[in-house]
Amino acid sequence: MVFDRSDAEPEEYDPEAEYRDPDSDSLSIPEVEEPSVEIPEVEIPDVEVDESEVPREIRRAFWSTVLVVNAAVLASSLGVMFLIFRGETRRAGVLVAGGAILFAMAYRRYRLFEAEHGEGSETTSTDERVAGDETGELDEP
């Protein structure tokens, strides 16, 4: 037979042999001592955040954009799942297209808000501008 052991073959090492409990039919699991760790007391500072610090217009624009992006992620991911798991191309296409439209709408809202408040989309930093130059143009070296 193929599985018979020859006399020249050494005995195989049994890793569980040293954990066998002669009094029971199972293995004995060695006990491990838990290290004692002293956790220092830390005083947590009281931080008061006032919602009125942020202007209402900015807060409203932010949360409306967050909601639109969340809806876009939901629609797009549902569309992909309908396509992959159910093979419904029409429903999946509508959902993915709706998600793309919602992403575009969120991007448009962001850009309009940025344009109204005069911040963002400048490609140069203020360090690169000439001191006292109102146009923001760079000096040629």
79 vs 99: CA distance, rounded Å: 8
Mind listing the pLDDT tens digit for each residue in 43-79?
888 887 776 677 888 889 999 999 999 999 999 999 9
pLDDT at 12: 76
Cα–Cα distances in Å, from 139 out to 119, 120, 129, 136? 22, 21, 7, 9
115 vs 99: CA distance, rounded Å: 24
pLDDT at 33 over 50: yes
H helix or E strand, kind and range, residue 90: helix 89-117
Mind listing the pLDDT tens digit for each residue in 72-128?
999 999 999 999 999 999 999 999 999 999 999 999 999 999 998 876 444 444 444
Q: Percent helix, strand and coil across the chain, each rounded to 5?
A: 50, 5, 50
Cβ contact 106:61 at 8 Å: no
pLDDT at 9: 74
Verdict on whether the full-model pTM lies above 0.75: no
